[in-house]
Homo-oligomer: A and B are copies of this chain.
């Protein structure tokens, strides 16, 4: 039997990144405004979101960066690495199981 198509690595990494309440919460927090990692961590605690440790949050941020949903940049004003949302729309084409992200 012929497989129709392979799933692109992008498809897997984006879907996996969005399949987590913590990671979706991080996107929500960054939709408000870009923030540094310590600011994000503090915001999660303030909103009462049930997280493990700092490392869990940093790994979750990195997974979203790797998937292209977030990006890291150096914010001159606060002299810190900050995170912001890098993708506005994600289109999944089912017949090809392909995924396109746009800004």
Chain A positions within 8 Å of B, measured between CB atoms, are 1-5, 7, 15-16, 18-19, 24, 27-28, 31-32, 43, 46-47, 69, 85, 87-95, 97
Q: How far is the CB of A86 from chain B (nearest CB, A)?
A: 9
Beta-carbon contact of B94 and A90 below 8 Å: yes
Beta-carbon contact of A32 and B15 below 8 Å: no
Q: Which chain B positions have C-beta within 8 A of A85?
A: 94-95
Q: How far is the CB of A97 from chain B (nearest CB, A)?
A: 7
Q: Which chain B positions have C-beta within 8 A of A4?
A: 28, 31-32
Beta-carbon contact of A28 and B5 below 8 Å: yes
Q: How far is the CB of A80 from chain B (nearest CB, A)?
A: 20
